């Protein structure tokens, strides 16, 4: 039986850790991560990192209900957790698999998880990635902007921000760290070539003297990661001779 990639979203760290501990001791669930806010969770979900989301409802910036409505994929399912019983009906309006009242016992958690297991088993592939384009949401000038991962060339760190350079010429600046982007984006598709730059491996098409060429930009590959970088390229069937 395939495990279900499970994301825990709660702005209360202790509540999130409790649900995460339940996930880790449930054999058919795999903990994909813990998010303290809906924006970070949305990025991970749109990057194809989770199938099931245990999500608090009352959160700043983006509530659990708003988050569930913004998720493009109908395959990603939500189980809401909250201290307020009046949200139950609203939870079912967004096709939540279940609704758990805090404090959540493992018995109640397992009942909801079993419902999710039955649902994903009925699809025939609990944790298989979707064929559709994967994307991330970035907070740019106060708006949530959807960016297809296939469109990203490279990401540049600028103090507390990142600049996401896209194939169509757009440069999107967002208040998020390069480390957080590295954790959020799909594994194996991007490589941190130095402290301030991460590149899309399948977009690397030209190099000059150890530097990756993206138009007028030349990005140096750190000596410390050079061997790993070329190995990662070879795994993508990209070989420099």
* Confidence (pTM): 0.61
CB 172 within 8 A of CB 152: no
User: Is pLDDT at 147 greater than 70 in this prediction?
Assistant: yes
CB 188 within 8 A of CB 199: no
User: Is pLDDT at 93 greater than 80 in this prediction?
Assistant: no
DSSP 160: T
- Non-local CB neighbours of 72 within 8 Å, separated by 6+ positions: 46, 132, 135
* Fold exhibited by the domain 135-235: OB fold (Dihydrolipoamide Acetyltransferase, E2P) (2.40.50)
**Interval 80-101 mean pLDDT:** 68
Q: How far apart are CA 80 and CA 93, in angstroms?
A: 12
108 by DSSP, 3-state: which?
A: helix
pLDDT band at 129 (very low <50, low <70, confident <90, very high): very low
What integer pLDDT is reported at residue 124 of this predicted model? 63
**Interval 46-69 mean pLDDT:** 89
DSSP 190: E
High-pLDDT (> 90) share of the chain, %:
47
Residues counted in the chain: 241
Q: How far apart are CA 36 and CA 87, in angstroms?
A: 20
**CA 206-210-213 angle, 5° bins:** 30
Q: How far apart are CA 78 and CA 41, in angstroms?
A: 12
Measured in whole angstroms, the distance separating CA 212 from the mean position of its chain's CA atoms is: 26
What integer pLDDT is reported at residue 133 of this predicted model? 52
Q: How far apart are CA 213 and CA 141, in angstroms?
A: 29
217 by DSSP, 3-state: which?
A: strand
More confident residue, 19 or 40: 19
**Interval 130-135 mean pLDDT:** 58
What integer pLDDT is reported at residue 92 of this predicted model? 45
What integer pLDDT is reported at residue 25 of this predicted model? 95
What integer pLDDT is reported at residue 186 of this predicted model? 82
Domain boundaries, the chain: 4-123, 135-235
What integer pLDDT is reported at residue 82 of this predicted model? 85
More confident residue, 49 or 94: 49
What integer pLDDT is reported at residue 128 of this predicted model? 46
Order across the sheet with 29-35: list the strands.
29-35, 4-9, 52-56, 77-82, 98-101
**Interval 53-67 mean pLDDT:** 89
194-241: pLDDT as tens digits: 999 999 999 998 898 889 999 889 999 999 999 899 888 887 766 665
More confident residue, 107 or 1: 107
Q: How far apart are CA 131 and CA 216, in angstroms?
A: 33
Query: What is the CATH code for 4-123?
Result: 3.40.50.2300
Burial class (CB in 10 A: 0-12, 13-18, 19+), 3: middle
Q: How far apart are CA 58 and CA 81, in angstroms?
A: 9
What integer pLDDT is reported at residue 126 of this predicted model? 41
User: Is pLDDT at 97 greater than 70 in this prediction?
Assistant: yes
- Non-local CB neighbours of 55 within 8 Å, separated by 6+ positions: 8, 9, 10, 38, 41, 64, 67, 68, 78, 79, 80, 81
């Amino acid at each position: 039986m395939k495990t279900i990639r499970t994301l825990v979203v709660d702005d209360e760290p202790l509540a999130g850790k409790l649900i995460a501990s339940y996930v880790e001791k449930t054999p058919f669930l795999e903990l994909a991560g813990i998010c303290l806010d809906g924006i970070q969770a949305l990025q991970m979900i749109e990057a194809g990192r989770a199938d099931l989301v245990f999500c608090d409802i009352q959160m700043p910036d983006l509530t659990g209900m708003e988050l569930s409505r913004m998720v493009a994929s109908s395959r990603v399912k939500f189980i809401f957790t909250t201290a307020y019983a009046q949200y139950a009906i609203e939870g079912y309006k967004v096709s939540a698999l279940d609704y758990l009242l805090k404090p959540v016992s493992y018995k109640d958690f397992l009942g909801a998880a079993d419902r999710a297991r039955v649902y994903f088993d009925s699809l025939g592939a609990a944790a298989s990635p979707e064929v559709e384009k994967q994307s991330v949401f970035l907070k740019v000038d106060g708006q949530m902007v959807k960016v297809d991962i296939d469109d990203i060339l490279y990401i540049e760190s600028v103090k507390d921000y990142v600049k996401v350079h896209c194939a169509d010429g757009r440069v999107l600046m967002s208040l998020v760290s390069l480390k957080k982007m590295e954790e959020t984006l799909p594994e194996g598709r991007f490589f941190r070539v130095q402290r301030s730059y991460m590149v899309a491996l399948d977009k690397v098409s030209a190099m000059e003297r150890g530097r990756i060429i993206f138009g007028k930009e030349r990005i140096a590959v750190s000596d410390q990661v050079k061997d790993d970088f070329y190995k990662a390229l070879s795994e993508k069937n990209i070989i420099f001779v």
